A and B are shown apart, each in its own frame.
Chain A
């Protein structure tokens, strides 16, 4: 998946998680502040991402993610390493 597709998917999953319309994602958006997500929302979002893309993020990787751009970088890297994710 390219970055554009990942960004669209992320926006869709954020909407599923929060139940609210998600604004257009900007790279420097802070996941907590801009998307109004607390710790539990973030972990639930992570599970949704893992289920959809068939990838697994470690807690250390997850701890490094604060912005949309950082999350997309990580997902791009993981999906590139995982053929199953490419097909998802």
Chain B
């Protein structure tokens, strides 16, 4: 039986947004940035496309920078979109299914004042399988894709397709920012497929690192300020730049 109905959206939003804010206020965040340089909070300096799995949709609420998130045009998406707006996160409505073309167009054209955040396995999955829309957006905007993996020391998992993660109060959310990936313009189908695989591999690697880090923290084997091991997928490093880099303290998250 489906308990939620679209007409409930305003009431649910009104109650859920402050609850989520208070709830996540108890969740601490640790981030390791394995990208080569700083990520400016001000998108006017440089913009990025942050990619993270749909199950980690709560992560942008902890980001202290201006992002717009692509949210599905479904009824569930309307609820999530309204909650995001109440939490101060910009939204663009659309997906690879409902309203996909409009969402892609808005991402390419009308988001010049913010970073973009895309959950590339949404809105329907399969879980952790990257859909090509993010490659299209990156190719047409010239913005680098930054894979962001999230792990949780303790989290409830929903029974949905994405096993949506809700971090427990007092837990730690560990984020690993992988290296940015530049996608060339005018990609053909083969190029799109190649970059889809490369970005998916990078996002999976960042997620593995974040989950491993969170598990170590939970087991008391790693101090939360100790940086995780991140094995970068092959093929992503230009020859003139070494894969092993010093991780930087990240200023995106509190």
Contacts and interface: CB of A to CB of B under 8 A. Distances in A.
A63 B102 CA distance: 6
A41 to B, nearest CB: 9
Contacts of A60: 102
Nearest to B106: A59
Contact of B96 (A39, A47, A59, A62): A39
Interface string B94-123: 001001111111101110000000000000
Contact of A46 (B103, B105, B136): B105
Contacts of B104: 39-40, 43
B196 to A, nearest CB: 12
Interface of B: 96, 99-106, 108-110, 132-133, 136, 140
A74 interface: no
Given A59-B102, A62-B102, A39 B110 contact: no
B132 A40 contact: yes
A39 B133 contact: yes
A42 interface: yes
A12 B179 CA distance: 40
A39 B133 CA distance: 8
Contacts of B140: 43, 47
A59 B133 contact: no
Contacts of B133: 39-40
A42 B96 CA distance: 12
B200 to A, nearest CB: 17
